[in-house]
Amino acid sequence: MHMSDPSVKGAAGTMQVYVCVTCRRENEPLEPREARSGARLFAAFSKVPSPTGVQIIPVECLSVCRRPCTIAFAAPGKWTYVYGDFFPEASVDIIFAGAQLYAEAPDGVIPWRTRPLELRRGVVARIPPLRLRPGAAESKA
Ligand code: FES
């Protein structure tokens, strides 16, 4: 079921892929941090050119620590998606393919039939686009 909202539109072709660089598998030591699965996944992105409009951004912990490696897709006006279960050595192409589909989707919702299997299985959460009401910043919660 898609609950996309046709009134929510993001800029086509511009998006960010957040990569948790602190993710580690159970058998991985805390140090050195560069050896963690998340850090290695992020390093793998630096070895290949990113698709146009896709930014790869390192972050420390997306609070999905039990499903390393964790990433998120985000863009202005779009749903944000959080995914887990990626492998540092084998996931860059999959993530780039998903990122391109996300960038092409006006609301960030990749149609289920075209969504890569890893994104179907690995989805952890999706968060609706931020909508600020006029004056919301001044109102008391
Ligand atoms: S350490 Fe990666 S999600 Fe927490």
Task: Domain ranges for the chain, please list them.
Answer: 15-127
Residue-wise pLDDT for 50-75, tens only, equals 988 999 999 999 999 999 999 999 99
pLDDT range class, residue 134, cuts 50, 70, 90 = confident
Q: Taking 50 as the threshold, does the pLDDT of residue 11 lie above it? A: no
Q: Taking 60 as the threshold, does the pLDDT of residue 21 lie above it? A: yes
Which pTM value belongs to this model?
A: 0.85
Residue 27 structure tokens: 């058998």
Give φ, ψ of 42 to 5 degrees.
-60, -40
Arch. (CATH architecture) of 15-127 = 3-Layer(aba) Sandwich (3.40)
Give the mean model confidence (pLDDT) for residues 10-19: 76
> Ligand 1 centroid to 121 CA: how many Å?
18
62 lines ligand 1 (CB under 6 A): yes
37 lines ligand 1 (CB under 6 A): no
95 lines ligand 1 (CB under 6 A): no
Residue-wise pLDDT for 70-97, tens only, equals 999 999 999 999 999 999 989 999 999 9
Is 90 strand, coil or helix?
A: coil
- How far apart CA 14 and CA 10 sit, in angstroms, is 8
